Amino acid sequence: MNDLICPFSATLARDDYGCARANPVIRRGGTEFVCDSASAHARCRVFHATCKTVTLEQLGLEDDLTVVPRATLVKVQFGGLAGLQRICATGAARIDNIDNLLERALVRFGNVESIPYPVLLDDISGYRLPRRRNR
């Protein structure tokens, strides 16, 4: 098993967002995305983990897969990136390259830890998951 599984796989699997570093890998459970750069993956992992921590603290939840709804974790992925795009003022409607977005955030904030995560909470909580279609 590869340790460089993208923490934003949900956004990539739906093809809503893109990343130049993500390579799809087909597995029994579905498609996963593997990063081709250890340093880029580490940066994304820290950004995702911090977004998740800030969001769960705000909701009063512990990071426990048996308690946290999957929808909340997906909202962290989509909303966190959308919020980062907003505060980096990229002006683009779609995030075509997650790696490039995080690079711009590094230029603006210096490092991943300095991103103002509480500012992203409105984007995360406000993200609306698409409704399921009736089958």
Distance, in Å, from the CA atom of 128 to the CA atom of 87, rounded to the nearest integer, reads 19
Q: What count of other Cβ atoms lies within 10 Å of the Cβ of residue 53?
A: 13
Please report whether residue 73 resides in a domain. yes
Which residues are bridge partners to 31 per DSSP? Answer: 26
Residue 63 lies in a domain: yes
Q: pTM for the full model?
A: 0.89
Q: Residue 23's pLDDT is what?
A: 95
pLDDT in the model for residue 41: 97
- The predicted structure's pLDDT at residue 135: 54
For residue 1, being part of any structural domain is answered with: no
**C-alpha distance from residue 131 to each of 9, 17, 60, 71, 85 (Å):** 19, 18, 25, 11, 24
Q: How confident is the model over 30-43, as pLDDT tens digits?
A: 889 999 999 999 99
In a domain, 7, yes or no: no
DSSP 28: T
Residue 84, in any domain of the structure: yes
Question: Which pLDDT score, from 0 to 100, does residue 73 have?
Answer: 93
pLDDT band at 5 (very low <50, low <70, confident <90, very high): very high
Domains contained in the chain, number: 1
Structural domain contains residue 80:
yes
Residue 134 lies in a domain: no
The C-alpha atoms of residue 9 and residue 7 are separated, in whole angstroms, by 6
What range defines the domain where residue 81 resides?
39-126
pLDDT in tens, 52-101: 999 999 989 888 888 898 889 999 999 999 999 999 987 777 899 999 99
